[in-house]
Structure 1
Amino acid sequence: MNFIRLPFYSLLLMLAPHSWAQTLAPSNLQVEYQESPIALGTTKPRLSWQLEATKPAGKDLHQTAYEIQVASNKEQLDEPNLWSTGKVTSTSTHQITYAGVPLSPRSSAVWRVRCWDQDGSPSEWSSPATFTIGLLNGSDWSAKWIASPENPIHETEENVQNFKGTPKGKLHLTPAKHFRKDFEANNPVRALLYATSLGVNTIELNGKRIGDWNLAPGWTSYHNRLHYLTYDVTERIQEGGNTLGATIADGWYAGYVAYGLFVNVAGLDPSRPGRSYYGKYPALRLQLELQYSDGSTKVIGTDPSWKTAFAPHTEADTLMGETYDARLEQDGWSSPGFDDSAWKNAILDEGHKGKLEPHPGVPLRAIEEIKPVSVTEHKPGVFIFNLGQNISGLAKLKVKGKAGDRVTLRFAEILHNDGRMSTENLRCARAIDTYILKGDPEGEIYLPDFTFHGFQYVEVTGYPGTPTLDDITGVVIHSDTPLISEFESSDPILNQIHSNIVWTQRANYFEIPTDCPQRDERMGWTGDAQVYIKAATYNADIASFTTKWLRDLNDDQWDFGPYPNFAPSPFIRKGMNFAAAWGDAGIICPWHFWQVYGDTTVLEEHWEQMEKFMTFRKERDPQNVGTKVGDSGFGDWLALYQPKTPVEFIDLAYHAHTSQLMSEMAMALGKTERAKYYRDRHRALSASFAKLHVQPDGSLTEANQSKYAMALYFGLIPDGLKQNAANNLAKLIRDNGNKMQTGFLGTRPLLPVLSSHGHHDLAGILMQQTEYPSWGYEVENGATTIWERWNSFIKDEGVHEPGMNSFSHYAFGAVSEWMFAELGGISQLAPGYDLIRIAPRPAGTLTHCKVSTQVRHGKVATAWNLTDGTFKASITIPPNTKAVVSLPIADFSPQTLGSGTYSFSGSYLQD
């Protein structure tokens, strides 16, 4: 047995007796990042699993071989009829491509895996998991696209205003529509419902809601791609009569989307600016397939025989809100025996012309409920509920009154100093929900179906009586990306900052990575996404979520090469062009995806389009000097310094950076010639950058904090000059009173650059700063999420620039990456965390810190404590990985350790 000999400090390795006898067990089986998916979009799915130690105290546990068995049903697993790999000598546990009997649409399979550990001992077989191939071809669909023959659009009484208070006109809103179909059925062995819509939908079967998705089937680049959802409804089919029902609303497809009203896009119907960018009216497509034991199948699909009528949702819009008149409910409308003779027949719709695929991401659904912490009567009959937390989602109303009573809910993230709701930042988004009671003596509960909001406060007017805290509940809704992070330290402000970052990510990972959940925008801004994506991976499993959004991004790539500034991109604002650091997300985000998840399939899928973008990049700047020609000019968005960092500087820096990333991705794909090409491009661009911007002593011309941070982070300062450049950056910060001046682009690299160039102490000061501008300043002013602006709220003054503001914007939350990688000391040294860096570093006044995250191999954790000059640390490394461990202990030499939990103690060696 090997011992680590370190004479200048005490080291405790908690080695379990007989560790060589430990074995492993495969668990958490996934297919294409999903657990037992029932509609995959490929016939060659990738299988993955994690490894768990059967005795947790074991050390250096790793897989040496695996065996996969796949069968068409569980009974055949002992003699698998689809695929058996036999024993395969390999450490691989992820993305093993199915290579058995060819699969086809609707194919179902059961699979299991076992592994051999480092000593050659086999595990038991895992519990079986399942997967099903979805409908992959147009010929797989017999259901037709249908729509309502009536699509009234009514003009609202109120006007909406832009962020300057300028009236933008009345809104034009539509009611939701019901569709229903009665059918007969025997007892099927399996019943799968494939459901999609142009617009958003809810589905009911025999009077009960199917599934828990909100705003299904989500938002895509509709001109190119549409997703469908699949539900296993076998247990819901009853012998004899059945009824399938659906309700559809405009959603992102035909309703108000993005900030169309704000910009008044030219060339669209002037009577309804801001809506109907993809299509004018919603449409529905459902296909229910009943499989029987004799091998026969019965299909119930949408066609003109379906009946339709208006739903009680008299207004239904994702941005503007929902009005629901409970008096218009038709009891039993989705159940057998309902009289639909007064309903009209549906009509055929031309439907969707692009790709129709299974949704590859996670559900957008209700995650939890939050009870308000207070309710005040702001003025007679106007009650304001405070949830105590800024969220994305809905307010659930509990009310009892007479028929016709009208209760209105308004939403805000913050209050003005006089207690009023601050709704100016909603701009053209009305964001109002209205419920009209039917007069049920038992009371009524209302939760909207076809909208969402970003809010902490709910204003209730028209309530019959005086509401209590129990009458409003906040329903948190976002894409169900599993939360995986833990951060706890001796500084309560840092702990709150971490909470704020996570809540902001939750609020904005809403089908796409939005910039904000509250105002007339809510778009997938690419600049925000690329600076934050690595931080996001520490806090949640975003693999399938990002897989989906990268397709949106590439679907909306412009024909001549650039990526859009937001994706999906329903319209191009007049004068909007490519934006340096925004369009670069098309390279940066796939690179991070590969680094974190070890997945090269995403690189292969989008490689051709990434090359197209880089060709555009080169042609746009043939002299390698950076350019602002045709640039949207966002620059270092919301930086506090003047003059602003020139777009040419940012353009050249990002061009060089993405060339380096392209060379690395090319090597991972075995494209050696392209790798060399991009290495040469990176070399040439870096040399040009140094010539233009770096002086002989390493200082930058016309320097500011963001310029230094970007140049050092992207490796654009020659090696011998980097330290002097970092020292100059530190001096700029200290001369500014230990305060930042950086915007979206400069903030993300700022603390990492300081920590990696001898100024970790200054990074800690910035992290713990509580004066404006800082994350701590936000906490001191009551923030529960990350603000868009450093000065979104000013103590004693109130909301700053209320019309152009967001209190839930994750871009500045990119500092989470530094919190995990430096304070917690967790980062990867190889794609997929096959080799991990463990190097926790105290900073500022911290005396302890506990951090963990889940990587594809399992949980990685560090915990350290600093007391009386002694540094104690505990680290956990998951099976099938190794970690290079560096600790701030006197005379400690970096150690490469296998999986296990280790404890260390020694004299603290300060940076």
Structure 2
Amino acid sequence: MTPTTPWQAAMITPAEDFDGAPLLRKEFQLAEGHGGIARATLRATAFGVYEAFINGAPVGDDVLSPGWSSYEWRLRYRSYDVTSLLTPTSVLGVELGNGWYRGRLAWHGMSKLYGSELGFFGQLDIEFEDGHIQSVGSDTTWQSGPSATTFNDLYDGQTIDARRNQNGWAQPGFSPGPHWTSVRVLEFDVDRLAEPVSPPVVRADVVKPVEIFTSPTGKTVVDFGQNLVGWLRFTVQGEAGHAITIRHAEVLEDGELGVRPLRSAKAADTFILSGGEDFFEPTKTFHGFRYTEITGWPGTLTADDVEAVVVHSDLERTGTFECSNELVNQLHRNIVWGLRGNFLDLPTDCPQRDERLGWTGDIAVFAPTAAFLYDVKGFLQDWLLDLAAEQKAADGLVPITVPDALKYCPQPPEFPAPESSALWSEASVWVPWALWEAYGDDTVLKNQYESMTSHTRRVEGLLSPTGLWDTGFQFGDWLDPDAEPDKPWDAKADTGVVATTCMFRTASITAQTARLLGHQDDAEYFDQLAARVQASFLEHYVSGDGTISSDCTTVYALAIAFGILPGSGLRVFAGERLAELVRKNDYRVSTGFAGTPFITHALTDTGHVDEAYRLLLEEGCPSWLYPVTMGATTVWERWDSMLPDGTINPGEMTSFNHYALGAVADWMHKTIGGISPLAPGYSRVRIAPVPGQGIDWANTSLKTPHGTVRVEWRLDDGALALEATLPEGAEADVVLPGGEIRTVQAGTHRFDHRNVAAHLDHQGSR
């Protein structure tokens, strides 16, 4: 049997909706006379989300499958080896839920964006010892009935009534009651089926409460000590019909759950007791929370009674970082937890409020950080396939969210028609390039080449007669910390400057990609496009003395980081001006979504390491460490999502789990940790830790496609002790303070360098 066994299944839906959470079952006999089972594979997908069982046992560890893809063109299915679960009489059972397909999406209050009916499509192929194949597919012979779930929505939560449990419904011999009925077939084109490239969503961790307390209004509040994504589960016994309600929030305000940032998301689960011992786990929703308010618990709630299940895509951890500054270590842990919470089947912006969308701008800047911390190769390649599908259907326009649910939602009449947006739409080019650099596999470039070139050509057509990208709506340096809470677009950086520098970087990367893949004519074309954009930028945005229009940190950071300034003169001036602006702002962050990921790189690359370190280590608001001092365990959307007095920022967008500003970890890994690729996939590595005041040692490691690279360094009485370990087949250039380069091969290498303290003093005197 091969994965190409022809599809014989149909997309089926229950004859009744059964509160949006129906059960489906098919009892069947194994074919006789063919010997034992050699292997059995179930392939399954759904309109909605599904959980599949054979003879009552889950077929896999995944939850919320098949996840959220661009359903109009790609409906992914999962494959399971179920050989050990089959018996002569077997039952294939399925639970369905609304999920992303039919549940609420975005902040407009709309649901059923993709369809009004749930469906299941599955095929169990059983190969016997003699080669005979028996296929059991979803068809009209299946039965459907009600589950214990009476309500389910990703934003609003799940209600489970244990009195409605039907024990044994997915096992042989179950007698369906009068509420069970038939199924019917939905129209479905099997050409939409796609084998996933990304790993499934799984229960990845369990967290126990650290404190249970009574709020000022008398509510029972449970603190799990970590802002996480998932749900609670527990076993409990109480009076039949008694309800337990659980509300979720990321923070407290005045000792109570701070739910205003959730906007319209109810984020509440309700469990109704049967009178016996009941186990509750709401697997058809998820919440972003650190705190829960539990109402109706029978008796006294203890820390042993409940646990939080952490849910995200099944990703392998690859990169680690630790240093002498514990606040920085906590920041790094916050970045890791932010990734975990938002890499739930797709890279979302936030996991808690009525949004949870795959915003392209966030991952465009965070992809290098993500690819260091975890193996996200398949995860992001799968998402990029959705991006390309959405883009192709929109005539080359890369939407601001992928999958693009917003295209189905009404926009205010004053809002401009959708068009390419700098940095956001750049995800089509920047994310594939980040994966190429991290993993050295050009498959992603080949798969996305049409998408990359299509985006670049589309933006070329948007350039004004001056050659600048200075027309149309732009997010620009979104959430500039100096903007008013209700005006996140009101940044210091000129949107045309931001967009034009982004276009230069995009055209340059597209040209490099074309050259790598052997498309020489395209390479020359995009090289010339980049040169034209650069010339226009220099003519219209750079004054004679080197000042860049709007003269703020973001414009200099982008100009330096993206290499749009030719020669050393302009670059030196930009670096000096950037450092000056950082100092004048007392090392407080002054950049938004566009400038933040690149400012520490730009400072370091122009010789201003001290300013970069002081920017990172600043604890006043706004800064990276301010949220840490306020007890944050994930990265915030706003620098001041919580104000110093403990109140929540009054803006409508106030998430406490947004990974975008955590892109600074890329600089931490490369500059403090000292690990960066000299060749895609780290076959050649640059080991160049740059010590700075405030950090005395750092240990960093990365599991590359060739093996693990480790770098450890320590400052002791002005001397740098550096140890670097390389895997077999790798080569590294070790850059020591002062610029000396030593090339080393596999193995562990130790270096000692004196007078580093004087070097740091020199940095500080700039």
TM-score greater than 0.5 by the shorter chain: yes
Letter in structure 2 aligned against 1:702: S
Distance 1:780 1:628, change over 3 A: same
How far is 1:178 from its partner? 0.2
CA distance in 2, matches of 1:358, 1:431: 31
Amino acid at match of 2:212: V
Q: Which amino acid letter does the alignment assign opposite residue 427 of structure 2?
A: A
Match of 2:24 among 179, 196, 205: 179
Displacement, 1:559?
2.8
Q: String of CA shifts for 1:517-572, please: whole Å, max 9, x gaps.
A: 00011011000010100011111110110111101111111532220001001232
For 1:546, the equivalent position in structure 2 comes to 380
Q: Determine if the alignment matches structure 1 residue 332 to structure 2 residue 168.
A: yes
Q: Is the 8 A contact 2:470 2:497 kept in 1?
A: no
Q: 2:316 aligns with which of 455, 462, 482?
A: 482
* Structure 2 residue 159 is matched with structure 1 residue 323: yes
The answer to whether the aligner puts 1:295 opposite 2:131 as a matched pair is yes
Letter in 2 for 1:503: W
| 1:808-847 to 2 correspondences below 5 Å | 808-847=657-696
1:202-227 CA-partner distances (Å, limit 9, x unpaired): 01111122211110111100001111
The match for 1:623 among 465, 489, 492 is 465
Distance 1:698 1:628 in 2: 20
Are 1:639 and 2:488 matched, yes or no?
Answer: no
CA distance in 1, matches of 2:685, 2:287: 39
Q: Which residue of 1 aligns with 2:436?
A: 594
Q: Which residue does the alignment assign to 1:507?
A: 341
Superposed CA deviations along residues 787-833 of structure 1, whole A, max 9, x for unmatched, are 00000111224211264210000010000000000001110111111
CA distance in 1, matches of 2:149, 2:20: 6
**Contact map agreement 1:205 1:334 (CA 8 A) in 2:** yes
Rounded to whole Å, the distance in 1 between the matches of 2:606 and 2:744 is 26
For residues 9-50 of structure 1, what are the alpha-carbon distances to aligned partners after superposition, in whole Å with 9 as ceiling and x for unaligned?
A: xxxxxxxxxxxxxxxxxxxxxxxxxxxxxxxxxxxxxxxxxx
Listed as ranges, the gaps of 5+ residues in structure 2 are 484-490
Q: Distance in 1 between matches of 2:466 and 2:671?
A: 34
| Whole-Å separation in 1 of the counterparts to 2:654 and 2:576 | 34
Say whether 1:536 aligns with 2:370.
Answer: yes
TM-score (norm 2): 0.94
Shift of 1:487: 1.3
The answer on whether the counterparts of 1:217 and 1:228 sit within 8 Å (CA) in structure 2 is: yes
**Are the equivalent residues in 1 in contact too, given 2:603–2:609 (CA < 8 A)?**
yes
- Partner residue, 1:382: 219
Contact 2:463 2:470 in 1 (8 A): no
Quick one: distance in 2 between partners of 1:375 and 1:445?
21
Matches within 5 A, 1:244-283: 244-261=92-109, 274-283=110-119
1:604 aligns with 2:436: no
Which range moved further: 603-612 or 825-834?
603-612
Quote how far apart the aligned CAs of 1:907 are. 0.2
Answering whether residue 239 of structure 2 is matched by residue 402 of structure 1, we say yes
1:754-793 CA distance string (max 9 Å, x none): 0110100110001111111111111100000000000011
Correspondent of 2:583 among 724, 731, 734: 734
Contact persistence 1:221–1:555 (CA under 8 A): yes
CA RMSD of the aligned region, Å? 1.5
Q: Which amino acid aligns with 1:436?
A: I
Kept in 1: contact 2:234–2:306 (CA 8 A)? yes
Q: Corresponding residue for 2:251?
A: 414
Residues 406 and 435, structure 1, Cα contact 8 Å, conserved in 2 = yes
CA shift digits 1:502-521 (9 cap, x unpaired): 00011001100000000011
Residue 672, structure 1, aligned to residue 520, structure 2 = yes
Q: What is the rounded CA distance, in whole Å, between the counterparts of 2:511 and 2:653 in structure 1?
A: 39
Does 2:78 correspond to 1:229? yes
8 Å contact kept, 2:582–2:615: no
Q: 2:390 touches 2:402 (CA, 8 Å); kept in 1? A: yes
Map of 1:662 onto structure 2: 510
Q: Which amino acid aligns with 2:14?
A: S
**What is aligned with 1:191?**
40
CA drift at 1:899: 1.1
Answer with 471-480 or 340-349: which moved more: 340-349
Choose 792-801 or 359-368, whichever is displaced more. Answer: 792-801
Alignment of 1:896 with 2:733, yes or no, is: no
> Are the equivalent residues in 2 in contact too, given 1:624–1:652 (CA < 8 A)?
no
- Equivalent positions of 1:300-319 (< 5 A) are 300-319=136-155
Higher helix share: 2
Contact 1:256–1:275 (Cα < 8 Å) also in 2:
yes
Residue 341 of structure 1 deviates from its aligned partner by 5.4
User: Residue type of the partner of 1:460?
Assistant: I
The superposition leaves residues 183-203 of structure 1 with CA deviations (integer Å, 9 ceiling, x where unpaired) of 111531111111111110001
Which residue is 1:365 aligned to?
202
Other-structure match for 2:487 = none
Question: 1: CA distance between counterparts of 2:698 and 2:741?
Answer: 21
**What is the one-letter code of the residue matched to 1:148?**
P
Q: Deviations over 1:355-394 (max 9, x none)?
A: 2021211120111100010001226762100000000111
Give the SS at the match of 1:880: coil
Helix, strand or coil at the partner of 2:215: strand
SS in 2 for 1:676: helix
**Residues 222 and 354 of structure 1 are in contact (CA less than 8 Å); yes or no, is this contact kept in structure 2?**
no
SS of match in other structure, 1:500: helix
For these two proteins, the number of residue pairs brought into alignment is 737
- The alignment's TM-score, normalised by the length of structure 1, stands at 0.79
CA distance in 2, matches of 1:379, 1:716: 56
SS in 2 for 1:620: coil
Moved more, 619-628 or 582-591: 619-628
Q: What is the rounded CA distance, in whole Å, between the counterparts of 1:752 and 1:570 in structure 2?
A: 34
C-alpha contact (below 8 Å) 1:361/1:547 kept by paired residues: yes
Give the letter aligned to residue 396 of structure 2. G
Distance 1:519 1:628, change over 3 A: farther
Residue 260 of structure 1, CA deviation:
3.0
> Kindly tell me: are residues 354 and 626 of structure 1, through their superposed partners in 2, closer, same or farther at Cα, counting changes over 3 Å?
farther
Distance 1:485 1:378 in 2: 39
How far off is 1:866 after superposition?
0.3
SS in 2 for 1:494: helix
Match of 1:614 among 449, 456, 461: 456
Deviation >4 Å, runs of 4+ = none
Answer yes or no: is 1:682 the counterpart of 2:518: no
Aligned to 2:707: 858
Write the distance in 2 (CA, Å) between the matches of 1:903 and 1:619: 53
State the AA in 2 paired with 1:502: V
Q: Does 1:150 align with 2:16?
A: yes
Question: Aligned pair 1:786/2:623, yes or no?
Answer: no
The one-character-per-residue Cα deviations of 1:155-186 (angstroms, maximum 9, x if unpaired) are xxxxxxxxxxxxxxxxxxx4300000111115
Report the counterpart of residue 603 of structure 2 in structure 1. Answer: 754
Q: Identity of counterpart residues, as a percentage?
A: 36
* 5+ residue gaps, structure 1: 1-105, 108-133, 153-173, 262-273
Q: Secondary structure of 1:222's partner?
A: coil
Distance 1:380 1:561, change over 3 A: closer
Q: Matched residues in 1 for 2:14 and 2:471: separation?
A: 47
Q: How far is the alpha carbon of 1:628 from its aligned partner?
A: 4.7
Distance in 2, Cα, partners of 1:338 & 1:739: 66
Change (3 A) 1:851 1:691: same
Distance 1:486 1:662 in 2: 31
CA distance in 2 between counterparts of 1:312 and 1:395 reads 17
What residue number does 2:697 align with?
Answer: 848
The one of 374, 395, 419 aligned to 1:560: 395
* Equivalent residue, structure 1, for 2:55: 206
Give 1:622 deviation, angstroms: 4.9
1:581 aligns with 2:581: no
SS at 2:130 equivalent = coil
Matched, 1:351 2:188: yes
